[in-house]
Structure 1
Amino acid sequence: MTAYAVGQLHDVSMGPEIVAYLQGIDATLAPFGGRFIIHGGPIQALEGTPAGDLIVIAFPDMDRARGWYDSPAYRAILPLRTNNARGVAFLIEGVPDDHRATDILTG
């Protein structure tokens, strides 16, 4: 099942450390099959007020998503982001193509 690393970042200090983080992250994703599917960009708000930039990275499965986040290569650059931005980050599993909203009612 596809898994996603999701971040919503705000108060980003766009200095040399964030630039170094952005220059290094793609190489950390490649061994785990990760790819950006959303990386900031304009938001068309429909309800509420969006807070910051949305980032979504897809992985083939949760094991590879977790492996990426815990990898020495990613851990080496992670402080470049966490020291220069606030927000939340989490991993979440996707749903199958035939998923329906009511599926959550059964378990």
Structure 2
Amino acid sequence: MTAYAIAHLREAAPHPEIAEYIARITATFEPYGGRFLVHGDPHEVKEGAWPGHVVVIGFPSISDARAWWDSEAYQAIAPLRARHIEGDIILVPGVSADYDAAVTARKMLQALPPSR
């Protein structure tokens, strides 16, 4: 099942190490079937606040995403970004093609205590 690495990165001043990180990152995730789905393009905030940029990398599975994150190749370049850009990064599995939110809602309602 598809999985994603999602980053919410704050604004940062341009720096040569950031450019090096961007130039090298694709080679770190391609061996794990990763590809950019979103890479810093402008986004529309509909609720709340989301300063900075969004990056989404898709992987064939959560194990592929974890293997990329833990890889020697990625860990070697991660400090180039981390030294200059604050942010939050998560790995999250996607839902199956037959996922039905209505089923999730029914299970949620069934788990509620009986109303009085």
Provide TM-score, normalisation by structure 2: 0.85
Gap runs ≥5 in structure 2: 109-116
1:7 aligned residue: 7
* Corresponding position of 2:45: 45
1:39, 1:49 → 2: CA distance? Answer: 19
RMSD of equivalent CA atoms: 1.4
Once the two structures are TM-superposed, the CA of residue 52 in structure 1 deviates from its matched residue by 1.2
User: What does residue range 66-85 of structure 1 map to in structure 2 within 5 Å?
Assistant: 66-85=66-85
CA separation in 1, counterparts of 2:18 and 2:37? 20
**What is the rounded CA distance, in whole Å, between the counterparts of 1:103 and 1:14 in structure 2?**
46
Structure 1 segments of 4+ aligned residues over 4 angstroms from their partners: none
2:32 maps to a residue whose letter is F
In 1, distance between residues paired with 2:75 and 2:11? 21
The separation in 2 between residues aligned to 1:11 and 1:42, in whole angstroms, is 12
Matched, 1:56 2:59: no
Computing the radius of gyration from Cα coordinates, the structure with the larger value is 2
Describe the shift of the 1:74–1:50 C-alpha distance in structure 2 as closer, same or farther (beyond 3 A).
Answer: same
Partners of 2:38 and 2:55 lie apart in 1 by 5
- Residue type at the aligned position of 2:77: I
Equivalenced residue count is 107
Question: Counterparts of 2:19 and 2:103 in 1: how far apart (Å)?
Answer: 42
Amino acid at match of 1:27: A
Counterpart position of 1:25 = 25
Deviation at 1:70, TM superposition (A): 0.4
In the alignment, the residues of structure 2 paired with residue 63 and residue 79 of structure 1 have an alpha-carbon distance, to the nearest angstrom, of 23
- SS of the residue corresponding to residue 6 of structure 2 reads strand
